Structures are given as structure tokens and as C-alpha cells.
Structure 1
Amino acid sequence: MDQSNGRRTGGADLSGSGYRSRPGLVGILRFGKNAHDGFCRRKKHEPGCDGQSVFGLWRGILPNLLGVVPARAAYFGCYAKLKASLCEYGFTGTTANFASASAAGCLTASVLSPIFVIKTRMQLMPVHTISLPSSAPATISHSLPRFHSMHEVALDMYRREGIRSFFKGLSASYWGVSEGAIQLALYEELKSRLGDEPSKPQLFVLAGVCKLVAAAATYPHEVVRTRLRDQRTPTDGSLPRYRSMFQALNVIYQSEGRRGLYGGMPAHLMKTVPNAAIMYVVLEMVVDQHQA
């Protein structure tokens, strides 16, 4: 699901050529060799299609796991500490929850940015080296050969683009912090209205609804962040297509309209809403066991 969302949010850098570099959600979800072969025949000019199999849907899972686990642990750990500190100074309620969640989100986004940039590159890289026309812009992100490990991707990024490449899209990640902050503040506020001991099904539904609202309200940052992360730095000295968060937001809107800012949203919600619901219920169970 994360792979399909990345493909939908990534977009193409071949402006004005009619060239599309990502399969649609429906095509991705049609599992099986026959569906895949048919898809490749229809998209025979699409980079990264030849030689892929259903296992391509799990590409980038290792850096994702290496990033998600410490990110969640650091996020909730920092959130609890910051919230307790604010309570000592008399700050409570929704304001304290939102501020604590925002600070915790910024910290984890900054520290773990390299892992998630590598994850995005691995998900969206082609299967083979791609021959592109000389008229293609220098910012095309899919003209590099496929790599087989995080180590290879990281080395290539460092050699070609320097240390700054590991922090591409960080500004959009800070924007995305508002998603987690809205979700957590809304969850805490509504949970307090369910009584002293809400049931686990109630918490499951509540967490899912809060995530749905927060993700839908802030989704464009996912598209912008993916485009910035996947974009390689031009080697000929020309300016990249996306140069900053706000400039990328404007370029996407001008060239693709509002739909471009919400590409891949169904896949994103299908992944994150149940994920958040399960995670919050498990977290509540762990807290209950710890306090017992």
C-alpha cells in the first residue's frame, strides 16, 4: 500500500511530453503475473515496468521498518515527556496536546529524515537503466539504475548529491507534523468525553476517525514531500523542477490542478487509518498494563 501511494504521489518530471512514470492505483492492485504483463504491454514506454513482479510492491520495506519503529517510539516518548513538562507549568488541554505533538513530530522528522528519503528512492527507482531522449529535462528522477540495498542507494545519493540529499523534503515533513498534531490533539480531546474507561472498540473507531480527518486535511504535504525526496539534483548546473516546498506546491497546482495535490490519497488513507487505529489501541493496552 505504501508502495502504491508513493507511485501515485511521485508524479513525472517529463513536463509537457505526455509521459507518465507511475502506474495508477487500480493497476498496482491487480496482482498476478497476467495482470502485470498486460499492464506492461499497455505501458511499454513506462520506465521501471519491465522485469518487475508482485514483489515490487514491497520494495523499500526495510528502510520503512527501520524508520517507522524508532519514529513511533521517539514520537510518543517525546510527546509524553513534553506534555508532562507543560503540565508542570500549568499548560493543559488541547493546547498542550497540540504543542507537545508538534514538537515531538519535528524532532523525529529531523532525526529520521535520511531513512525515509532512502525509502522513497528505493520505492520509486527503475528496474533498469533508462535511455531518455536528449530533450528530456535534467530533473527527471527516473534515469538512474536500480540498486539492491539501502547501502547502495545511500552511497549513490552521497556521491552524486552530497549530504543535503538525505534531508530533501524536510520542510514538507515539518508541514506534515500538523497531521500528527491534529490527530493526537483531537484524539485526546474526544477520548476525554467518552468517560473514564472507554471500550477498545470505541478507541479503535475514534483513532481511525481522527486519523482520517487529520490525513485528509493535510494530505498535499505527502505529494510535495515525495516529489522533493525523489528528485535528483541536476548534474549540469540547471535548476531542479522543484526548488522549495511552496514552489513545488505551486508547480504541481499549476501543471496538474487540485487533483495533482491529492494523487494517491485513497491508498494513503487505506494504509494509515487502520494503522493508526491499531497502533492507538495497542498503545492504550500497554499503558493500562503499565499502570495496573
Structure 2
Amino acid sequence: MSFFFLISGFTSCSLTNPIWFVKTRLQLDQKRNNRLTVRECIRQINEQHGIRGFYKGITASYYGMAETVIHFVIYEAIKARLQERYSGDSTNWTDFLRCMVAGATSKTIATCVAYPHEVARTRLREEGTKYRSFFQTLLVVYKEEGRAGLYRGIGTQLVRQIPNTAIMMATYELVVYLFSDSH
């Protein structure tokens, strides 16, 4: 199962990185008078770096797959403990609340562990040559900004991801429950 997860994650990162790269470049565009259009951004990247330019920061995306692995391992462990503790209870809405708590907790831990890859990926997508590779970028950020630099923006990430993941995991469990033969 985890092998297929890694293959699908690798494929997804590889195919969608150009889209995310352009999005990040447009977000970082600071020309006040003349904002880049998507077409201009794509042309500029292609002219400056060719097709390879659209894959800048992809190694950080590959490292980011670890966040999802950590999240699911912790989620399944928490869910198993909750099921063990509350076994014998009939399935009701509190089961889905427990799944929400398990999802929120596991995603919080995974995000806190793996967040520096988000910073590295964004920095690698900036224009310029200061950041050249994943580990070099982490080292430069750490040297120049300390640990806080590696976690810049994590608060916003958690505010967005925790409720999203809690709802997503509870919804997933509800759908599995509704389509299972055991209810």
C-alpha cells in the first residue's frame, strides 16, 4: 500500500509541479505597476530556464510526501486506540467526532514535523539563484533566519489544514461506514 502511495505521490508531484510553480511565481510577483499574467509568467520561465525551470523546487515537493505518510500513520494509530477504548459502543455521531479529533491531531503533528519543506519549496520557486537545492535552501534559511525561518507561515498553514483535515477524515470514515456491509 505505501509503495503505491509513494508512486502516486511522486506522479502527482511530477505532473502538477509546473502548475504550482507558476502559481507561486505569480504570488511572489512584486511588480506593482504591471502584474504578470499567467501567459507572461509561463513565457518568462520558459525563456529563462526552459522546461526544467518549471520543476524548480520539485525535490521539496517529494520530501513533502513524508508529511502525508506521517499523517496517515499517526491517524491510523490514534483511530485504533480510540476504537479499542470505545469498542462495544454502537456506531454513532461521536465516532465521527473522534475521527475528526484523530485527523486534526495527526495532521498537526505531521505538519509540525515536515513544515520546513514548504518553506524550502517556496524559496526555491523565487526568482534568482540564492536557493539552488533543497538541503542548501534549508541550510541558508536556518543560517540567515534561524529555526523561526524554517517555520515561517506555519500558523496560517495549521489554521487552514486542521479543520480541513478533521472534516475530510470524518467524511472519509462516514463514506466507508455507509458503503460497508457491516452496518
Query: For the Cα contact (< 8 Å) 1:172–1:225, is it kept in 2?
Result: yes
Query: For the Cα contact (< 8 Å) 1:169–1:224, is it kept in 2?
Result: yes
Aligned to 1:78: none
Cα deviation, 1:118-147, whole Å, max 9, x if unaligned, reads 111122212425xxxxxxxxxxxxxxx522
Alignment of 1:187-198 (within 5 A): 187-195=75-83, 197=91
Aligned to 2:95: 199
Alignment of 1:1-292 (within 5 A): 83=1, 97=2, 99-128=3-32, 145-148=34-37, 150-195=38-83, 197=91, 199-232=95-128, 240-291=129-180
TM-score (norm 1): 0.55
Instruction: State how far apart, in whole Å, the 2-side matches of 1:286 and 1:121 are.
Output: 37
Overall identity of the aligned pairs, in %: 38
Q: After TM superposition, where is structure 1 displaced by more than 4 Å over at least 4 residues in a row?
A: none
Instruction: State how far apart, in whole Å, the 2-side matches of 1:106 and 1:160 are.
Output: 26
Instruction: State how far apart, in whole Å, the 1-side matches of 2:134 and 2:13 are.
Output: 15
Cα deviation, 1:181-213, whole Å, max 9, x if unaligned, reads 000111122212322757111111110000000
TM-score (norm 2): 0.84
Q: Which runs of 5+ in 1 are unaligned?
A: 1-82, 84-96, 130-144, 233-239
Cα deviation, 1:269-289, whole Å, max 9, x if unaligned, reads 111111111222222223333
Instruction: State how far apart, in whole Å, the 2-side matches of 1:220 and 1:265 are.
Output: 9
Instruction: State how far apart, in whole Å, the 2-side matches of 1:280 and 1:123 are.
Output: 30
Give secondary structure in 1 for the equivalent of 2:27: helix
Cα deviation, 1:132-168, whole Å, max 9, x if unaligned, reads xxxxxxxxxxxxx5223x3332222212221112111
Task: Let me know the Cα RMSD of the aligned residues.
Answer: 2.0
